[in-house]
Structure 1
Amino acid sequence: MQFSSSLCRGRLLRRYKRFLADVIYQDNPLTLHCPNTGKMTGCAEPGWAVYFSTSDNPKRKYAHTWELVENHHGDFICVNTARANQLVAEALELQRIPQLAQYADIKAEVRYGNEGSRIDFLLSGGDEPDCYVEVKSVTLLEEREGERAGQGYFPDTKSERAQKHVRELIHCVNSGQRAVLLFCVLHTGIERISPASHLDPAYGALVAEAVGAGVECLAWRAEISPEGMTLVQALPFEIHGI
């Protein structure tokens, strides 16, 4: 996936009101739209390099969108959460994910489940049952005592919405369908993924239940640069304590 226009580079001053960020660009202050409603832990430190796109839509209040940040280790992080589904869609169409390459039909944002949800991708047309794929954007890298470097987590805070999605996937497999929880890793410093049970114990317990029920958990990391991004590498998925 290539960015539609060249990204500009600035320096982060602050992120605020969830959807806004102030940067210094060419020695001038500039306000960006921040397309990320999460806590963005470890993704928004003042002074870090930020990369942003520019829209030519005259109706937009903020023409510039924050896309990437480069941390003090030189890792690139994509903070635009909409990019995760775009990357996965590209990977599915090009059959880059071997476990999901056998399906001919790909539909996005399909209503399903008992809790009023939309599945990110519904795959069909293969020899197996239809496959429901829920995508999660992963950017949280934590260095916790006793853990190896490169440990990534999802979510970055308590998320009842993420809990709901896992329950829906459990219902899918219990109904005889295939269900996949696909962690799209948008941080080049992350080497493995685990549920963030220390931040959302209920989510961690639900993921463990889901795995036991037959939900498949996959993690794929993107190669990221100011020119574009591509899903390139499968990462280990681990549930601590199991």
Structure 2
Amino acid sequence: MCKGKFIGRPNRFIAEVEIDGRTVRAHVKNTGRCQELLVPGTEVWLEDFAERMGNRKLRYALIGVQKGDLLVNMDSQAPNKVCEEALISGALNLPGMEKLVKVQREKTFGRSRFDFYVEDIHCRGGWLEVKGVTLEEDGVARFPDAPTERGVKHVLELTQAAAQGYQAYVLFVIQMKGVSRFEPNDRTHRAFGDALRQARAKGVCIMARDCQVWTDGMTLDEAIPVYL
């Protein structure tokens, strides 16, 4: 890991970063807007692939941003990874289900591919969709930071799964510590917030957990209140 200073973002996949006085390009492991995080002059953390480039085109990957006192993980793949670890270890309990005996990633229901399909010791099945959250405003975590029709579709499909007798969950993984609650970002995409409210009214469990974050990764941590 190494530290740098964010300069700019020519496109959603690439950041220009200053490291020890030189400008390099780094892969951005998050295609969201992240405008409140990626501000010129901001301290960022990068993974260095110098010894394991393989087919990589860029030596560095931007995975962390210092936002005031908060260290924010930017890796969009990290939420599913820490969620899977927590499901398997039992650190993440799903309301309405007991000990899990099956945890499968990327399974299809209806017209959607959800992040996880799970079953417990009583053969109850459940669908879980995970959303990584990097937007924080005055101690409140919000999602999304840009309109997400795909997110709306997932939530509505989960509502159908619940109607068919499955357990259904949306988990917002807040990629930082220090937030007081989670809210849908109605200002950015009201339809997503409306879909969440409709889903909860029809039996979908809406959850949020924050994370312990280090410069080189994170782990799922405490439950955070959800305000819809």
TM-score, normalising length from structure 2? Answer: 0.94
Amino acid at match of 2:158: L
Cα distance in 1 for partners of 2:177, 2:116 equals: 24
Match of 2:184 among 183, 195, 216: 195
Bigger shift: residues 34-43 or 160-169: 34-43
Aligned to 1:3: none
Match of 1:178 among 151, 161, 167: 167
* TM alignment of 1:20-99, pairs within 5 A: 20-55=14-49, 56-71=52-67, 73-99=68-94
Q: Deviations over 1:156-206 (max 9, x none)?
A: 121101001101100100111010000000032322111111211111111
Cα distance in 2 for partners of 1:104, 1:178 equals: 15
Q: Deviations over 1:37-91 (max 9, x none)?
A: 11113211111111111231232111211110001x2201111111110111111
Amino acid at match of 1:104: V
Look up the SS of the partner of 2:100 in the other structure.
coil
| Preserved contact between residue 23 and residue 32 of structure 1 (Cα < 8 Å) | yes
Deviation at 1:234, TM superposition (A): 0.7
What runs of 5+ residues in structure 1 fail to find an aligned partner? 1-6, 143-148
Q: Cα RMSD over matched residues?
A: 1.4
Aligned to 1:13: 7
Aligned to 1:105: 102
Look up the SS of the partner of 1:98 in the other structure.
coil
* TM alignment of 1:160-175, pairs within 5 A: 160-175=149-164
Cα distance in 1 for partners of 2:99, 2:123 equals: 9
Look up the SS of the partner of 2:198 in the other structure.
helix
What runs of 5+ residues in structure 2 fail to find an aligned partner? none
| Preserved contact between residue 9 and residue 25 of structure 1 (Cα < 8 Å) | yes
Look up the SS of the partner of 2:206 in the other structure.
strand
Bigger shift: residues 15-24 or 187-196: 187-196
Identity of aligned residues (%): 29
Amino acid at match of 2:86: A
* Inter-CA distance 176–198: structure 2 relative to 1 (3 Å threshold): same
Cα distance in 1 for partners of 2:10, 2:173 equals: 25
Match of 1:135 among 110, 130, 141: 130
Kindly report structure 1 stretches of 4+ aligned residues shifted beyond 4 Å: none
Cα distance in 1 for partners of 2:121, 2:35 equals: 39
Deviation at 1:16, TM superposition (A): 2.4
Deviation at 1:112, TM superposition (A): 1.4
Cα distance in 1 for partners of 2:126, 2:167 equals: 5
The answer to whether structure 1 residue 204 and structure 2 residue 193 are counterparts is yes
Q: Deviations over 1:99-124 (max 9, x none)?
A: 366211100011112x2x21101111
Amino acid at match of 1:112: F
Amino acid at match of 1:224: V
| Preserved contact between residue 141 and residue 189 of structure 1 (Cα < 8 Å) | no
| Preserved contact between residue 105 and residue 124 of structure 1 (Cα < 8 Å) | yes
Aligned to 1:145: none
Look up the SS of the partner of 2:86 in the other structure.
helix
Looking at secondary structure, tell me which structure has more strand per residue.
2
Look up the SS of the partner of 1:166 in the other structure.
helix
Amino acid at match of 1:108: R
Size of the aligned set, in residue pairs, is 224
Amino acid at match of 2:82: L
Look up the SS of the partner of 1:214 in the other structure.
coil
